[in-house]
A = this chain, B = another copy of it.
Amino acid sequence: MRAEVGLMLGPSLGINYSPRSPPNAKVKERSVIHDCVSQFLNETEREREMLYIIGLGLGDEQDITLRGLEAVKKCDKVYVEAYTSLLSFGLSTHALEKLYGKPITVADREMVEEKADAILSHSLSSDVAFLVVGDPFGATTHTDLVVRAKKLGVNVKVVHNASVMNAIGICGLQLYRYGETISIPFFTQSWRPYSFYDKILNNRSLALHTLCLLDIRVKEPSLESLCRGRKQYEPPRYMTINTAIEQLLEVEQMRGGKAYNEDTCCVGLARLGSDDQKIVAGTMRQLRVVDFGAPLHCLVIVGKENMLELVVRKLDATRGICARAPIHDTVLHLSFMSVPCLMMLKYLTSNLLLNAKELIHVI
């Protein structure tokens, strides 16, 4: 079956004509629209070559879907974008080439931005695959490439996969309870944009979690080389959770809106979806010094702390222990993988620090 995607242009096939349109304009419009629809039907009736935009998922080459693999196998030309994503994130072209049994061209930022038409022209005469880490329309959209493809008359098919935008659910905080996602760029001496701060403030005021995507700088031409007119690239840089927290705290100090502070609960996630992923919950103060290892990192600022944290705070006040243990809903949810968290819970309950009624609230 053919996917149907359209725009409601009104009850008829085209535009709803305003009564103010002159009659000859109406006739002209109708004729143009008629042509468009005919062209649309003709285009979809015949089988055309296809540009497949295929999500690779998060981890390694085994995260491609069967649907994606089947599409790659029938393509004459395979590109993998290294523009916004990261081959070193568990993926190597060698492993991909071995799996697919064909050569792969790495399309870096320059190629995607400047030579998109060259890529697309292949797909006029044969099937082409364009591979994207994560989901094609996840954290970064490839709308521009698709719009260009369409202009050239290339048919496009999308194969979805996991991206950070949904896989973040593994930290246990419901995806329903996230507000607007933010990006934190590397600060420089002269460029310290704070625009993400208001978004966190909004999210926190609505008790929503904030997913923070951290800056990636790959194949950035150095300022010096640009001045000399000869492109040379800075070494790749990936923002760590530690740097992100430093910058966040700096912005809070500058803005003073009390969106968060050093005691705000967060979850840091490194190499999400990989076998060696690392997920740690704690306050900003605590996570600031954790070594999360290799990129990619991302950070969740927890929106609202739940019953469990309240219970622990109560315990803190009345019994004087667990003063700084950042126990909140993340703990509970993370507990399935985090034995120390479960044990902590068990310890609390076995020592009757939580009574049965409180425990029902918590679990």
Contact = CB atoms under 8 A, between A and B. Distances in A.
B150 A138 contact: no
A114 to B, nearest CB: 17
Contacts of A351: 28, 32
Contacts of A277: 3-5
A17 B70 CA distance: 56
Interface stretch (A61-69, A186-194, A226-234, A245-253): A61-69
Given A33-B347, A275-B1, A276-B4, A170 B322 contact: no
A336 B149 contact: yes
Given A7-B280, A139-B175, A172-B141, A336 B167 contact: no
Contact of A16 (B66, B325, B343): B325
Given A6-B340, A340-B9, A21 B320 contact: yes
Given A3-B276, A202-B206, A363-B147, A325 B165 contact: no
Interface string A322-353: 11111100111111111111111011001100
A170 B158 contact: yes
Contacts of A36: 339-340, 343-344, 346-347
Nearest to A71: B62
A80 interface: no
Interface in A1-47: 1-10, 14-18, 20-22, 25, 28-29, 32-33, 35-37, 39-40, 43-44
B276 A1 contact: yes
Given A160-B58, A167-B137, A335 B150 contact: yes
Given A277-B4, A323-B18, A336-B146, A175 B170 contact: no
Interface in A153-181: 156, 158, 160-163, 165-167, 169-170, 172, 174-181
A122 B65 CA distance: 27
B321 A17 contact: yes
B343 A33 contact: yes
A15 B322 contact: yes
A127 B31 CA distance: 64
A304 to B, nearest CB: 12
A295 interface: no
Contacts of A333: 141, 143, 147
Given A10-B324, A57-B160, A141-B174, 17 more contacts: A2-B275, A3-B279, A3-B337, A9-B325, A18-B324, A21-B321, A32-B347, A36-B344, A40-B340, A63-B66, A64-B66, A66-B69, A137-B167, A138-B166, A141-B172, A147-B333, A177-B180
Per CB-CB distance, the 8 closest pairs between chain A and chain B, nearest first, are: A8-B282, A137-B169, A20-B320, A36-B343, A18-B323, A1-B276, A160-B162, A146-B336
